[in-house]
Homo-oligomer: A and B are copies of this chain.
Amino acid sequence: MTKNGATQSKQDKIWEALDRFRIEIPSWGFANTGTRFGKFVQHAAATSIEEKFADAGEVNRLTGASPTVALHVLWDVPNGTADVEKIRALEKQHGVKSGSINPNLFQSQEYKFGSIANPSAEVRKVALGHLLESVEIGRALGTRDLSIWVSDGSNYPGTQSISRRIGWMEEVLGAMHAATSEGQRLLIEYKPFEPAFYHTDIADWGMALHLAQKVGPRAKVLVDTGHHYPGTNIEQIVAWLLYVDALGGFHFNDRKYADDDLTLGSIDPYQVFRIFHEILSAPAAATEGIAYMIDQSHNLKGKMEAMVQSVVTAQELFARAAMIDREALTVLQDECRLIEAEELFRDSFWTDVRPMVRAWREARGLPADPLQQLRDSGYVDRIARERAQRNRSAVSSYA
């Protein structure tokens, strides 16, 4: 193939990849958040489900890659299925659909010692009730995924029975799975620590996988890139989950220390590239259902700007990974020609895909530079003015 031919081919790969890459954005990513030490309130933050849909719609208009918005049951759908009609209207109005449904098993006072792993049968029943309601909401909205994050655990050795809590989780999640319909999926997330600091009931992918396999075929594992011990090879876990056909999706964010919830690719972009490579190396059947989702808590960056920046970064890193010549790579891997394999692999990482991504945007009728377009549009200034008063009240009630 001529050099031009090869270049053409790279562009084809990138365009094809971008055409199918979609990443969901979380409704809570537009609201004010903070650390346990405080919250820095932004005037442009969304204060209602309406504003969240408006913001999500704007991000999708700018990027063309985020047509769904993850909903948080407690904060976005407080009245359960009674809210469905309102949400459908918002979907139409803003051109984005509801995405994954996120139950909340950590905030209510009764979950002090756990939700689905609580020693109290009564509390577990409350938790199951909330999960079943979430299944209902998902069905009513016609969405596919239910993302289950269980923050349960204990803070001190000896204070809870680790093994009995496994059984309780199996029961509750089994009952939830039984309530799902064809087309619904249960994504089980894992996290090693925080807010529980001695043991977390679903601490790693092995535990999440066991539960998913135990409760039924509609259950898969959800990988949050920030939920690992220091040093963990996340792309290897992704490869294993793909191998056993149990990878449900991702919560993307970045971290340097713990669950730092920084924006995607901001600390270790090479790692994101490697994760995408594992996915693109797997058989299509194992990967087509993967839910890519952003889940960050960027409490210093502007909400809208951070979200657009994250989507763009995800697209660029996905495009880089899409360029890898995996056939040639396989030959080099099989022959253990390490340096050649590594150089071929990272040649794609070092290639500046931005002009090609820009060309794709223009070809698809999208803004060439979404972040710049957001700035030029005055959107953030406008919502900051409109929402300032509501957000200011939030500050005072906080402090």
Contact = CB atoms under 8 A, between A and B. Distances in A.
Contact of A158 (B232, B260, B336, B345): B345
A109 interface: yes
A242 B351 CA distance: 32
Nearest to A119: B334
| Copies of this chain present | 4
A376 B340 CA distance: 14
A317 to B, nearest CB: 10
A228 B282 CA distance: 27
A239 B195 contact: no
B236 A199 contact: yes
B159 A341 contact: yes
A309 interface: yes
Nearest to A207: B240
Given A163-B281, A256-B197, A206 B236 contact: no
Given A300-B113, A339-B301, A262 B197 contact: yes
Given A158-B277, A160-B336, A267-B270, 14 more contacts: A35-B36, A155-B300, A156-B341, A157-B270, A161-B333, A162-B235, A163-B242, A206-B237, A207-B240, A230-B230, A231-B256, A268-B268, A301-B338, A350-B354
Interface of A: 34-38, 40-41, 106-107, 109, 112-113, 119-120, 151, 155-163, 166-167, 192-195, 197-200, 203-207, 209-210, 228-233, 235-237, 239-240, 242-244, 255-258, 260-263, 266-270, 274, 277-278, 281-282, 298, 300-302, 305-306, 309, 316, 329-330, 332-336, 338-339, 341-346, 350-352, 354, 371, 395, 397, 399
25 contacts: A35-B194, A40-B112, A157-B274, A159-B336, A159-B341, A161-B281, A162-B239, A162-B240, A163-B239, A163-B281, A163-B282, A167-B243, A192-B232, A197-B262, A199-B233, A204-B204, A205-B206, A206-B207, A206-B237, A229-B232, A258-B258, A343-B371, A350-B352, A350-B354, A351-B352
